[in-house]
A and B are shown apart, each in its own frame.
Chain A
Amino acid sequence: MAHRDFVSRRLHSFLGLVPIGLFLVVHLTVNYFATRGPESFNKAANFMESLPYLLFLEIVFIYLPILFHAIYGVYIAFQAKTNVNRYGFFRNWMFFLQRWSGLFLVIFLAWHIWETRIAMALGTTLNYDMMANILANKGMLVFYIIGILAAVFHFSNGLWSFCVHWGIIVSPRAQRITTYATVVVFILLAYVGIRAVFAFTNPGLAF
């Protein structure tokens, strides 16, 4: 009975959390090993690479969901006529930023996957040095920091939207409390992500 749009939107929302959101948390956690030094990061990255049926896991839990989420997300983003200049409400800003962070992420992730996973498939070793080399470039460093903040924001705010779109939170109070909770998620994940980036550029830096 349900129309394709309804199913696609719900699927889009669900995939954003499982597996994409979960993968983001795992990914940022693996990165965080860099704060314990190159050896630690290489060990963690090698463990991920050594998982059995890795290609299957990658295709089913990463590539396909991200492709669907990205392509359908671009369609959703361009369907809106954003109006934050006229309606500067908090949620409207979140609506606006969710769409623009998503569009930015399509570009960022395409670049990021090209530079790391595809480079690895083409023969470059994926290790601490690879990221240290990429991030030695100041422009790339800024690009990665914005990319991580966009991803973490998109995930945190998407967590809120997921709860609303699946009818988990209904009342205004439930929605408000969930907003606060997702702000906390954003701050914590942003810290994990940014700190890991600086572990590649300034290995001694502690904060």
Chain B
Amino acid sequence: MSENKTIKIIITRQDGPNATPYEETFEIPYRKNMNVISALMEIRRNPVNIKGEPTSPPQWEMNCLEEVCGACSMVINGKPRQACSSLIDKLETPIRLEPMKTFPVIRDLAVDRSRMFEALKKVKAWIPIDGTYDLGPGPRMPETKRQWAYELSKCMTCGVCLEACPNVNSKSDFIGPAPLSQVRLFNAHPTGAMNKAERLHTIMGEGGLASCGNSQNCVQSCPKGIPLTTSIAALNRDTAIQSFRDFFGSDHQ
């Protein structure tokens, strides 16, 4: 019985960055325990569409295949998520695959997420410890805080929160929820806190925190369950205090 079962997959394709998108339907034999990646591999093995016409194999990105790298993010049945952890048995058919159009499409399902890396660089999402001599061990982090911070560190820069956010679009320069939450992570670190004001000033700038409109789609969509809106609200508090310090001057160290 299962030999005859097939799955229909409708892919929004695009031949290049500036090409016009079009839909192409494929039908592949069903196997047990398939995910969207293995279904795409099946199409790639024999790139013939449902009309029997040979076509180019669809392009997509993948890496870890265990939902920790974020590379295979795409819009699956209308929701942005990782293709690797999207099991065929749990998806409504026909399965619709689209690229995350918030990002520039490179080809088919592959998008260019480099704006997220740019944003991480902009907000200094790292702890600067390099120098010309050994600075010795930094301050220690309490274990409870480490456990809390670990949740924020699960971000894999997959772009799902940017795709879900109504304020991340071509009309706005909002950097999106993911890099904001990283500001909270690195500001919470005892050594990272040494650059706290610098990071806050960055997100008080163009395309920063103020562009959040609290639709809270990000926290609902995040595959890693990161408390993005809590981070944003906490940063709202931090930046409010920082702006008062900047305006009135402060002796607080």
Q: Is the CB of B214 within 8 A of A164?
A: yes
Cβ contacts under 8 Å, A2 to chain B: 201, 204-205, 239, 243, 246
| A170 in complex: contacting residue of B206, B214, B233, CB < 8 Å | B233
**CB 8 Å contact bits of A148-187 with B (1 = contact, 0 = none):** 0000000000000100111111111001000000000000
Size bracket, chain A contacts: 35 or more
Q: Is the CB of A6 within 8 A of B233?
A: no
Rounded to whole Å, the gap between the CB of B236 and the closest CB of chain A is 4
- A-B contacts at CB below 8 angstroms, number: 111
Q: Is the CB of B211 within 8 A of A5?
A: yes
Q: Say yes or no: is A107 at the interface (Cβ < 8 Å to chain B).
A: no
Stretch of B35-43, B185-193, B216-224 on the interface side: B216-224
Q: How far is the CA of A35 from the CA of B108 in the complex (A)?
A: 64
Q: How far is the CA of A19 from the CA of B44 in the complex (A)?
A: 62
| A171 in complex: contacting residue of B171, B205, B230, B239, CB < 8 Å | B230
Rounded to whole Å, the gap between the CB of A157 and the closest CB of chain B is 10
Q: Is the CB of B166 within 8 A of A82?
A: yes
Cβ contacts under 8 Å, B201 to chain A: 1-2
**CB 8 Å contact bits of B221-246 with A (1 = contact, 0 = none):** 10000010110011111111101001
Stretch of A38-46, A87-95, A190-198 on the interface side: A87-95
Cβ contacts under 8 Å, A59 to chain B: none
Rounded to whole Å, the gap between the CB of B164 and the closest CB of chain A is 6
Q: Say yes or no: is B94 at the interface (Cβ < 8 Å to chain A).
A: no
Nearest opposing residue in chain A for B102, CB measure: A81
Q: Say yes or no: is A112 at the interface (Cβ < 8 Å to chain B).
A: no
Q: Is the CB of B216 within 8 A of A92?
A: yes
Q: Say yes or no: is B78 at the interface (Cβ < 8 Å to chain A).
A: yes
Q: Is the CB of B237 within 8 A of A3?
A: no
How many interface residues does B have (CB within 8 Å)? 37
Q: Say yes or no: is B179 at the interface (Cβ < 8 Å to chain A).
A: no
Rounded to whole Å, the gap between the CB of A117 and the closest CB of chain B is 31
Interface of B, secondary structure class, is: helix
Q: Is the CB of B216 within 8 A of A3?
A: no
Q: Is the CB of B166 within 8 A of A83?
A: yes
Q: Is the CB of B237 within 8 A of A170?
A: yes
| A172 in complex: contacting residue of B172, B230, B239, CB < 8 Å | B230
Rounded to whole Å, the gap between the CB of A203 and the closest CB of chain B is 42
Q: Say yes or no: is B210 at the interface (Cβ < 8 Å to chain A).
A: yes
Q: Is the CB of A6 within 8 A of B243?
A: yes
Rounded to whole Å, the gap between the CB of B23 and the closest CB of chain A is 18
Question: In the complex, which residues 169-218 of chain B have their Cβ closer than 8 Å to any Cβ of chain A?
Answer: 169, 171-172, 201, 204-206, 208-211, 213-217
Question: In the complex, which residues 55-102 of chain A have their Cβ closer than 8 Å to any Cβ of chain B?
Answer: 76, 78-83, 86-87, 89, 91-92, 94-96, 98
Given contact pairs A89-B216, A164-B236, A165-B236, A95 touches B204 in the complex (Cβ within 8 A): no
Taking A10-B243, A167-B241, A170-B237 as given, write out 19 further A-B residue pairs in contact, using a Cβ cutoff of 8 Å, ordered by the A residue number: A3-B206, A5-B205, A5-B208, A6-B209, A7-B243, A9-B210, A78-B171, A81-B166, A82-B166, A83-B164, A87-B221, A89-B216, A95-B166, A161-B214, A164-B214, A164-B236, A167-B237, A169-B233, A170-B233
